[in-house]
A = this chain, B = another copy of it.
Amino acid sequence: MGTKENIQIQAIFFDLDDTLCATSDFSTQARFDALKAMINIGLKMDIEVLNTELKELIEEFTSNYPHHFDKLLLRIPESSYRGINKAVLVAAAVAAYHDAKHNYLKPYPDVLHFLQYIANIPILKGVITDGLEIKQAEKLIRLGIYPYFHPQAIFISDQIGFSKINSKTYIHICSSLGLSPHRTMYVGDHPMKDIDSANKAGLISVRIRREGKYKTLEGKTKACHEIQNLQELLQILEERYLGKEKNECLNI
């Protein structure tokens, strides 16, 4: 991997959050909208104080915990929402959060162009993402990028019994699709889950440093390539991994 010689790749996989879409930004904005909706219903609290409490709660219970707003009400003074039905407060927050999916959840501006470009190249295109299966699958649908990937090359950690922090994830996926790890590229933003693990499994790792929350975090190993956007990856692909000969088309 990463030698000066051309390696014709068989497949390219992408991480989802903060690689193809600005999940961190989306979540920040969606949660803020949710808190504003609670205040509009009558909750008497300063939004910044609420936001700090919500951030702490998410640190404690993880971002995939399904009852953030119910829990938030337990943590703030009951006097701040006396006389208001708690379910209405929570529902207002949940509705605003869901609405934000329409308003803010978009692919990064370079993503569609990149996916359209590689659509005609006979390599397998897929997604490997950690997270809850319906939540991650919904992002693929809402972002409008699902059609660019092979239906059998969508891997969500919840479904496969591995998390990406374990390099076996990548070995398992390559093996199940008959791919050589050293001819498989993986693009992600997380230095350990995406880069260290993919490196350990022998993949061609590409670290993308956008504005996501892991931008400045460093892992144990260096990525084979480091980019700031997918436009840069196009050039790397053309120069190093997509020789003039056609790659074989995989039949899965």
Contacts and interface: CB of A to CB of B under 8 A. Distances in A.
What's the number of copies of this chain in the assembled complex? 2
Contacts of A87: 133-134, 136-137, 154, 156, 159
A140 interface: yes
B151 A91 contact: no
A98 interface: yes
Nearest to A132: B87
A74 interface: no
A79 to B, nearest CB: 14
A95 interface: yes
A84 interface: yes
A219 interface: no
Contact of A90 (B88, B95, B102, B134): B134
B134 A85 contact: no
A216 interface: no
Contacts of A41: 141, 146
Given A84-B151, A85-B151, A137 B91 contact: yes
Given A98-B98, A152-B83, A91 B138 contact: yes
A42 B151 contact: yes
A94 interface: yes
Best-surrounded residue of A85, A94, A140 (most CB of chain B within 10 A): A85
A154 B98 contact: no
B141 A88 contact: yes
A152 B84 CA distance: 6
A84 B156 CA distance: 13
18 contacts: A42-B151, A83-B151, A85-B151, A85-B154, A85-B156, A85-B159, A87-B134, A87-B137, A87-B154, A88-B140, A88-B141, A91-B133, A91-B135, A91-B137, A91-B138, A92-B141, A94-B134, A94-B138
